[in-house]
Amino acid sequence: MYKIFIVITVLTIGLTACTKQKVASLQTEYQQTVAKIAYANYNDAYLTAVTLRESINVLIESPSQNTLDAAKEAWLAAREAYGQSEVFRFQEGPIDDVNGPEGLLNAWPLDEAYIDYVDGNTTAGIINDPSIEITPELLENANENGGEKNISVGYHAIEFLLWGQDDANTALMTPGNRPFTDFVTDGTGTASNQDRRGEYLKICADLLVDHLAYVKNQWAENGIYRRTFIEMDAKAAIDKILTGMGILSKSELASERMFVALDNQDQEDEHSCFSDNTHRDVILNAQGIYNLYFGTYTTIDGQTISGTSIQDILAKAEKDKEENYTAVFTETLAAVKEIPAPFDYALTQEAIGGNGPIMTAIKKLQNQGNEIANLASDLDLIISTELPE
């Protein structure tokens, strides 16, 4: 019996060592998966931003309802890729490290009067101040200058210039309705400073493309950050990945982007208020988290980028817990997809602490964030799901 015990003990130790080696191998493979997904995702964001810029140039050259509508559709399409890429935030990566352009890409909420005219003030904003020369340098330096809501560039500055202010009556369930004539410069246009408005919009589109090109190139196969990421210890890389996923799920998305708007019952606190695209923003952020758990991403041309996933790592390291974690990610995305559109009207139809679709999704996202922290612990990691100060 003693010899049998020794044999069994040796076999157990051998199997444990083999499992640890396999888990370590899977973690390294997962690094490669995430790097491939990050590049594909940011490349899509870049390509759709280029298309948006082209549509904006056509609008400025030939303003009409058709060209304005085309530019709006291009903006909505551009948000599809970028929304999923936000899972790569909060990781000390190229999007929001000390040199990262995130604040120049997706900052919100936005004080409309900082950029252009608003209801009750026809001369508001940089556009309507002829003493200000509109240049790329000026607009970048003006971003968040003097206040967090002083947003001058990025997706939401472009959104405001395409749609105009959202209707204050959310029951109408309509987005902003800026007339295309705001860009007509032959003397028949509406508002004033139409040429400056067009120039401002074109510069915003150029800057958007430039900033996304920077992040895309950092994640490219021979990119500076890509090399750094691949060369770091696999557990350190996964620590960063899970931190980004957890913060986005619990603190940024559930709290900052959803609960604040529900608590205040204010459309000004929703992410894409001018276009009423906030429901898609929420879904896409949740989809990005889902992508990294399952190790898969679908490009804008329908190609599937996939590889070893967190699910695969758990199936080997914590097989008895994998099914529960998988259910959490699946159920959370499903709950988020139940949020009605437009978001600004839907948030007025439910109360905090109730069981409406927005509150249900918030709770699911908060729980998902907690489960991501638990998942990290199961992999011998300790992460925070709170927003950095």
pTM of the model: 0.94
CA distance 307 to 347: 38
Looking at residue 4, its pLDDT comes to 52
Q: What is the mean pLDDT of each run of 10 residues along the chain (389 residues)?
A: 49 56 94 98 98 98 98 98 98 95 96 97 98 98 96 98 91 92 97 98 98 98 97 96 98 96 83 95 98 98 98 93 97 98 93 92 98 96 89
The identity of residue 71, as a single letter, is A
Residue 4 burial (CB < 10 Å; 0-12/13-18/19+)?
exposed
- Are the C-beta atoms of 305 and 297 separated by less than 8 Å? yes
- What pLDDT does residue 264 have? 86
Residue 10 pLDDT: 43
Per-residue DSSP letters for 344-365? HHHGGGS-TTS-SHHHHHHHHH
pLDDT at position 15 is 40
How long, in residues, is the chain?
389
Under a CB-based contact definition with an 8 Å cutoff, are residues 350 and 358 in contact? yes
Fold designation for 24-378: A middle domain of Talin 1 (1.20.1420)
Domain ranges of the chain: 24-378
Can the peptide bond before residue 109 be classed as cis, meaning omega within 30 degrees of 0? yes
